[in-house]
Amino acid sequence: MRNILQAVGAVGALALAGCMVGPRYTRPPALTAPADRGPAPPEFREANGWKAAQPDDAKLRPDWWRVFGSQELDDLEAQVGVYNQNLKGAEARFREARALVAQSRSALYPHLAAPPSITTNRPSANEPSPPATVAEYGNLIAPVDLSYELDAWGRVRRSIAAAREEVQATAADLETVRLSMHAEMAIDYFDLRSLDAQKQLLDRTLVEYQKALDLVQNQFNGGLASGAEVAQARTQLETTRSQEVDTGVARAQYEHAIAVLAGRTPASLALAFAALNAEPPEIPPGMPSELLERRPDIAAAERRMEEANEQVGIARAAFFPSLLLTVQGGMQGTSFVDWFAWPSRFWALGPSAVQTIFDAGRRRAVQQQAEASYDSAVAAYRESALEAFQQVEDNLSTLRTLEEESATQRTAVQAAEHSLQFSLTRYTGGLVTYLEVVTAQSIALANQRTEVDLLRRRMEATVLLIKALGGGWDESKLPVDHT
């Protein structure tokens, strides 16, 4: 007995020493050499000297959609946060990962079981060594089994660490889904309002085209215009009316998409007509060096990289013996009368070690698989970082270009409207045919619709820039397990 206790003490001391095999995790750089590929530049190339108007403008807030100043959009975004089913699914996956931490942590503690059994036995008279007297007997056992695997090589602790990293990764995944759903809601909302602006433009144009048709009809009635010119004016009017009707199809689809994003049935949501006419706000891009901490998808990739590193350590621990401590005791008797009598007690105590001698390279293959998985996670992390920089630069460039294009397009619209009025005057004076008026009308309407569409694209690019910047999120918001 004394020798057993000494062995148990020695094994326990080895476990408490906290030996952990495998690599220690160090976050690798997101951007690698040579120098022209990293590290992060001091500012975004496409930012073009952006400066915050106010000191508190330099950082996005979690409810970033409020910068657009639309109470209706704010209300819809609030419904996304509560009722969106994609968010609910991501939140459930986070809770699942958190439960796995408790499951992994349970391996740090002994496993206790009490499997009682009551059997009646009768040996065979024809067995190889039959008893002298064949008789039935009872076997009543009330055991208590305690087993404990000493975490001498850090396998259990690394499993817990890997589960914790997966919790943080799934929390970041949840934030990525949240950001995507809110951004999708904003984009769909601005697309719908852009269609309202298109309809408003077309309705106004239809009024003008009807006046033009009336003018040509009067000219025709007075013998000053041909039937072909009347047909041209009517064709222009009906074509534009068809375009106006078509905007309703697309608007209904966006309205249905908005309803689903808000967790509602399409039939339950009806948005009143309101044309898009607000200018997009200026969005602070911040510093490139901060981007890696502001993107939840990058945080998820980094946590899974650390999780893969823990798996390498777990694979290496398999090369060392498993150290077990087993304690068994209880009561055993042949009847209820003597089941709990003092002489019926039994116990057993002792450590054991299990070491695999030959497995045909299985453990080595598992380790190589874990190392390759880690290398893959590193590559995925660095690719996520590169894509993040690209998305920010793309949308900064898009916004700057569209702003310049919008200013040019405003001039083009004014010129087209002036040309249209000039053509109508010339036609009324009998100097030109109505074909010139139709051409001027088409050019003016095309330019006006382009101007409306440019505003939509600027709004979309602003939302996408906010999404590329992480939407006001940062790594400090990840859950921390202090247990």
What Rg, from alpha-carbon coordinates, does the chain have? 38
- The tens digit of pLDDT for each residue in 75-131 reads 999 999 999 999 999 999 999 999 999 989 888 888 888 888 888 887 887 778 777
331 phi/psi in degrees, rounded to 5: -125, 140
Q: Do the domain assignments include residue 319?
A: yes
Residue 123 included in any domain: no
| pLDDT value of position 422 | 93
The answer to whether position 266 is within a domain reads yes
Domain count, the chain: 1
Indicate whether 58 pLDDT > 80.
no
The answer to the question of residue 74 being in a domain is yes
Q: What is the tens place of the pLDDT at every residue in 156-166?
A: 889 999 999 99
Q: Is 125 exposed, middle or buried (0-12, 13-18, 19+ CB in 10 A)?
A: exposed
The answer to whether 30 and 382 have CB atoms below 8 angstroms apart is yes
Specify the pLDDT at position 373.
94
Highest mean pLDDT pick, 83-97, 211-225, 281-295, 317-331:
83-97
CATH number at residue 409: 1.20.1600.10
Q: Residue 35: inside a domain, yes or no?
A: yes
Q: Kindly state whether residue 129 falls inside one of the protein's structural domains.
A: no
Whether 483 is covered by a domain: the verdict is no
Domain of 324? 2-118+138-477
In this prediction, residues 210-227 reach a mean pLDDT of 90
What is the Cα–Cα distance from 258 to 266, expressed in whole angstroms?
A: 8
Mean pLDDT of 356-360: 89
The encoded tokens of residue 86 equal: 């994609």
In a domain, 132, yes or no: no
Confidence of residue 408 (pLDDT cuts 50, 70, 90): very high
Which of the four pLDDT bands, split at 50, 70 and 90, describes residue 216?
A: very high
Which pLDDT value is given to residue 38? 52
